[in-house]
Structure 1
Amino acid sequence: MEDQDKLEILKKLLLTEEKEFADSIAEKVEELSKIVHQKQELSHKVDPIIDDKLEQFVEEIPKTLGPTITEALKEEIKNSQDAVVEALFPIIGKMIKKYIAHEMRLLSENINRKTKAAFSFKNWFRKTRAKAQGITEGDLILSDYAKPRLMQMFVIEKNSGILLADYSPLSDGTIDKEMVAGMLTAIKSFVEDAFEGGDQDLELIEYELYTIHIQNFYSYYVAAVISGAYSMMFKEVLEDQILDFAQHNISNKELKNSALFTQKLKKHFADDIV
C-alpha cells in the first residue's frame, strides 16, 4: 500500500467522526428552528383564543365570584366587628366633621345677618338688653343659640335612606340634603349592625355642639338636628311633638308626596319647640 493510500484512509477515519458531529449539530439546529417556527405559527392561532377567553373571564368574574366574595366579606366583617369599627370610624368621623363645619358656617352667617338686620323693635330690645348686661349684641345672640334649637329636620325612609321630607327654620337650604339623609342612614345602620343589640335602634348622635335626635317608626325615621343644650325636658317635648305630628299628619299619602309632606312638616315645626 502506497503512502498516498494510507493518507486517504487516515483522512477518512479522522473526518468521518468530525462529519458525524457536524451533522448532529445541524440536525439539532434544524429541530430547534422547526420548534421556534411552530411556536410562532401556533401563537398566531392561539393568542386570539386566549384573549377572548380572558375577556370572557373578566366579564364573568363579578357574576361567578361576586356572590362568593360578598358572602366571605360579610362573614369576615361579622367575625371582626371591632376591627371594622376601628377602620371605618375615622372615615365616618371626617364625613360628620365636614357636615358640622358646613352647618357652623351657616350658623355664623345667620348670626351676622341678625346683627346687621334692619331696625326693628326686637333688634332694639336686644341691643338695649345687651348694653344693660354689659355684653356685645353678638354674645347675646350666641347665648340665645345656646338654648336648644331645631336646626334641621329630616324624614327618611328606613331601608333606602331616601329623603321623604325636610325642614330647616335657620338654614338657607344650601346643604346637600339627599347626601345628609344617606349619610345618616349609613351611620345608623352601621352602628345598629356593628353591635349585637337585637332589634334596638340608634336614637341619638352627639357631635361637638350638635345633637341629632333620631325617632324611629315602622318604615321611616325622623332625624332632628339640635344645637345648644339638649336636655331631658327638651327631648321629651321634642318626642311628643314628633309623635303628635306622625299621628295626625303622616299617612301613605304624605309618604308618597314629598312636597305635601314638607309643607306639613314646616307648618307643624314653624314655632320654637320650647
Structure 2
Amino acid sequence: MADDLLTNQPNSGDGAADPDDTEDRLRQLRSLLLGPEVEQIAALRRRLDDPRLRSEELSTSIAEAIALRAKQDHKLQTTLQPLIEEALRISVARDPAMLATSLFPIIGDAVRKAVAHALQGMFDSLNLMLDRGLSFESWRWRFEAWRTGRSFGEVALTHSLSYRVEQVFLIHRETGLLLGHVAVSDGVVQDADLISGMLTAIQDFVRDSFGRAKSDELEDMQVGEFKLWLAHGPLALLAAVVSGQPPPELRQVFERELEAIHAEFSSALQTFDGDSSTVEGAKVNLQRCLLGGQKARVKKSYKAVWLAFAVILLAIAALIALRVRDNQRWADYVDRLRNEPGIVVIQDRRLWFRYSIAGLRDPLAVDPRSFLADSNIPENKVSQRWEPYQSLDPKFDGKRRMETEKAILEREVLHFDLNSAQLPMNQFEELEATEEEIKIIGRIALADGLPIQIEIYGHTDRTGKEDHNVELSQARARTVSNALLERGIPAYILSPSGVADSNPEHAAMETYPQELDRRVTFKLIMPAAHSKDTPR
C-alpha cells in the first residue's frame, strides 16, 4: 500500500511532484508504520503526568511491597519510625480526645488489672503484717532494714525460711515454647518442655473458658504442697513453682526480673523462631528468683521478750502511780488553801510537769507557799497568781485593828532638850497619848491571843561624841520606858534601846533643825508581821 502511495502520485504540468501532496502522503505513511507505538507513548505520558492515575496504580501494590520488605530486614521500620512518631504527635496535639477514645478500651482494662493486682498484694501484705507484726523477729528485721538502708521486704525475704522457689520457667508468650528453665540443686526436675506446653494449654483453657477479656490471665495455681505463681509480660511469662508459705514480696521479685528480661532481650523475644539460645543470658535473671530455703524452723524462746514486756509494764505502772500520787498531793494542797481563811481559789491546773493556781488573797492571810513543803511539792514547779482583797472573816478583824493601831503608835514621837534625858513638861501630853495607844494594842492582843513586843528607840543629834550620844540615847529610851511602867504598862512588852544618831529624822536632807533628832520613837513587833526594819 505504501508502494501505491508512492507510485500513484499525480504529475503536475511541468512533470514535477506537488510538495504539499508529498508531505501529506508522508504523514499517512508515518501513521501506518508508527501509529500504535505513538499511541502507547501518549498513554504512558498521560499516566506519568496525571497524579491521580499514579496514586491509583500505587495503591494496588504498596501493601504487598511493604509486607515483602518487612520480611527482609528492619530498614523500612527504621525509616518510617520518625514519620509515624511525628504524625502521631501532630494528631494528638490537634485532637487529644481521639487518642484517648482509641486507647480507652486498652487503658481501662490495664488499669483494672493493675488495681486488682494492687488490692491483692495489699490484702496479702495485711495478712502477713497481722501474722508477724507484733513479733520480736519482725522488729529485729525492721531495725536491720533501717541500719542497712534496705527495704523491710528485702530483709524479710532474706531471713524468712518458710518457703522455697523450686523451679522457674521462662515461656514465650506467642508460641508457648520454653525459653529458659532453672531449678534448685536438690529439687525434683521434670521435663521442662512438657511442663511448659501443659502450662500454656491450661492457661489458654482458663482464658477461653472463664476470662471475660482477652487480657485476663492465670496468675496462680495450687498443686498439692506446691504453688505456681505466674508473672505476665507482653512477650514472655515467668512461672515459678514455690513450696511452703511465700511472702507477698516474692511476687514483686518475679515481676522485677521479668521486666529486666524484657528490657535486655526485647529484640530477641520479638523475632523468636524457636532457638532459645538467643535468650540464654536470661537464666541469670531466673537464678535470682531461686530464693528461700526449706530448713527446719527452730523453736525460739521468748523469755527475753516477755521480760522486756514485763519491764515496760512495770515502768508504765510506776509512771501511773507517780502521776496519781502527784495528783493527790496537788488536790490536798488546793483543798487546804480552799479551807484557809482569807484565800479564795479561782483556778487550779495540773500540767505534765508544772502546777498553776490563781485566786484572791487577803494581805493578812497566810502565805500559800508556806504549805508547799508540807505537801511535798517543789516550789519552783508552782506558778501562783493572787489578787489582793479584804476578807470579811472575823479572824482578820483583830489583825486589821492591830495594823491600824500599830501605824498610829509608830507615828508617835517624844522630843527631848539638848544633851538631856529628862522628858520635857510639854511632852507629857504626848506620853499620855502613847500610853493610851499601847493599852489599846494590849487589849487587842489579849483578845486575839497575840504576843506583842514594843521597841522603844532613843535618838540623838549629830553633835557630840559618839560614846556620849550612845549613852544619852539609851538614857532617853529608859526614861520613856520607866514612865510607861509607872502608868501600868507591863514591863515584858517593853524593850528600850539606844541608837544614837544612826537613824536621823530626815536622812535625805542635808540641813534641818537638830532638835528633831533628839527624840524617842516606838515600833510594834508581832509574830505574824515580824519586821527587821531599822527604827525611825
TM-score range (shorter-chain normalised) is 0.3 to 0.5
Q: TM-score, normalised by structure 2?
A: 0.22
TM-score (structure 1 length as normaliser): 0.41
Larger relative contact order (Cα-Cα within 8 Å, sequence gap ≥ 6)? 1
Rg larger in 1 or in 2? Answer: 2
